[in-house]
Structure 1
C-alpha cells in the first residue's frame, strides 16, 4: 500500500510539473525570414539577434543590370517591457555592381549601410488566441554610402496583423507607410506597401511561408508600382536558434527580378 501510494504521488507531481515546464519555454519569435512584419515582442531583459549571412538581389532592366550583395545585416531586438521592444539594425557590408548595357561600363560601390532604430509595440493577442496585432515605428540614419545606404534620413510605420486559421495554418497582412529617401539623396517621398502571407507549420521546428507583396514608390525621379512573390522556410534545431532561407521573384518589370537571402536568429 505504501509503495503504491508513493508511485501515485510521484506520478501526480510529474504531471503537475509538465505544464509548468512548457510555460517556461522562451518567447522566441524572429521576424525573419518572411517579408512581412510581426507583432511579437522580445521578453523583458532578453535579446534577439537576427542576421542575414548573404542577401543577393538582381535587377535586370532594358538599359542596365544591377547586382547587389549584402552581408552581415545585423538586427538586435531588446525587450524593455511586457509588450515593448527596441530594435537596432545595421548593414555591415554591401557591394553594388551596375552594368550599363549600351555603353558597356561597370560601376561598383562597396561599403557599410544605414543604421535603423525602431520601437515595436504588441497591441493585441495572447498565447492560445488566434488574432494578434502590433505597430512598429522606425527611423533610419544615413550612415552608409548610396546605393548601399539611402543617402538621407527616412522614417515610417509598420502595422502587422495575423490570424491563426488552425494550429498549423496562419494568414498575415502587413501594411507599411514610409517617408522614404529620394533616389537623389535629397529629400523624402511617400512609399507604401502591403504584404499578404500564408504560413504553414510542418512541425514545431519547421515552418514555411508564401507571400505576395505590392509596393508603391512615389520617388520624384519616377513613380513605380512593384509586385513580388516570396517563399521562405525556417528550421529551429533548438528552442533559441533558427536557420532560414528566403527567395523572392519579381512579378512585373518594375520589381527586381530575383532575391535570395540566407541567415538565422538566436535568443539570449
Structure 2
C-alpha cells in the first residue's frame, strides 16, 4: 500500500506543477510597470535590443541610442521577485545648432537593484497590486550614467476591466540624481495605461505619463504618451515594439524601441 501511494504521488506531480504555472508577464514593453511577479524558481530576461530617443530645442539636438538595456527578474517566492538591470552600451550625439559643433559619447549605464513584492494576485489577474523599491548604482558615467546613486519606489496597480481590457496605474516617487551628477532631488510621476488583447497572442497598450522633476538646475514637468505592442511567440518568449512622444516642450520629442523577453 505504501508503494502504491508513492507511485500515485509521483504520477500526480506533473499535473500539480502544471496547475501552479502562471502566464508569462514581462515588464516590457511600455512606460508603466505591471503589478504581476515572476513565479518562484523562474527567471525572466527582458532586453531592449535598440532604443532611440530624440530631444530637440532651439539650441541643441540630442540623440541617445541604447543597446542591450536588460532587466533580469528572478522569482524568489510566490509573491516576491528580485531584479537586476544594466545598460551595457549607450551612445549620445549632441549637436549645437548655433556653432554646428558635435559632441559624441559612448558609455555604459548604471546598475539597478530592486525587488517587487505583490500584495494581491501575483499573476496579475483581477485586481493586482505591488510595491517595487529600487536603487541605482553609479557604474556608468554621464551622459548615459547618472553619476551618483539614486533610489525610487513604484506602486503599480492593475485591474481587468474584461477579458480583453486591462487598466494600469503606476505612481512613482524618486530620489533622482541631480543633473550635475552630485546629490539627489525629488521627482515623482504617474502613468496610466489601457491594455487591449488584440488576439490571444498580441496585446497593445496606450499610456499617458506626467513627470515632475525638481532638479536644482531648474524644475520641469514632462508629459508623454506612448503606444506599444507585444507578441507572445510562445508561452515563454515575447517580442515587442513601441514608442512615445512628448506632449510639451520639457519632454523628449520622441522615442522608438524594439525588444524581447524570455522566461526560463
- Tell me the matched-pair count: 250
The aligned counterpart of 1:136 is 132
- What secondary structure, in the 3-state scheme, does the structure 2 residue paired with 1:82 have? coil
| Aligned residues: CA RMSD | 1.5
Distance 1:114 1:156 in 2: 14
Distance 1:146 1:194 in 2: 26
Distance 1:267 1:129 in 2: 19
Post-superposition Cα deviations, 1:135-191, rounded to whole Å, max 9, x if no partner, equal 100000000110101110000000101111110001111000000000101000000
Post-superposition Cα deviations, 1:208-260, rounded to whole Å, max 9, x if no partner, equal 00001100000011110000110000001100000001110110000000000
Partner of residue 214 from structure 2, selected from 215, 218, 230: 218
* Contact 1:235–1:242 under 8 Å retained in 2: yes
Partner of residue 150 from structure 2, selected from 125, 136, 154: 154
Task: Give TM-score, length-normalised by structure 2.
Answer: 0.91
Partner of residue 69 from structure 1, selected from 49, 58, 65: 65
Gaps of 5+ in 1: 1-18
The aligned counterpart of 2:12 is none
Q: Which is greater in Rg?
A: 1
Distance 1:167 1:26 in 2: 16
* Contact 1:27–1:42 under 8 Å retained in 2: no
Question: Which aligned segments of 4 or more residues in structure 1 are displaced greater than 2 angstroms?
Answer: 19-27, 125-129
Distance 2:17 2:78 in 1: 20
The aligned counterpart of 1:8 is none
Offset, 1:27: 3.5
Partner of residue 110 from structure 1, selected from 83, 88, 106: 106
Task: Give TM-score, length-normalised by structure 1.
Answer: 0.90
Distance 1:248 1:126 in 2: 28
- What secondary structure, in the 3-state scheme, does the structure 2 residue paired with 1:81 have? coil
Q: Sort the Cα spacing of 1:175 and 1:250 in 2 relative to 1 into closer, same or farther, 3 A.
A: same
Q: Sort the Cα spacing of 1:186 and 1:21 in 2 relative to 1 into closer, same or farther, 3 A.
A: closer
Offset, 1:205: 0.9
Offset, 1:23: 3.3
The aligned counterpart of 2:254 is 258
The aligned counterpart of 2:77 is 81
The aligned counterpart of 2:175 is 179
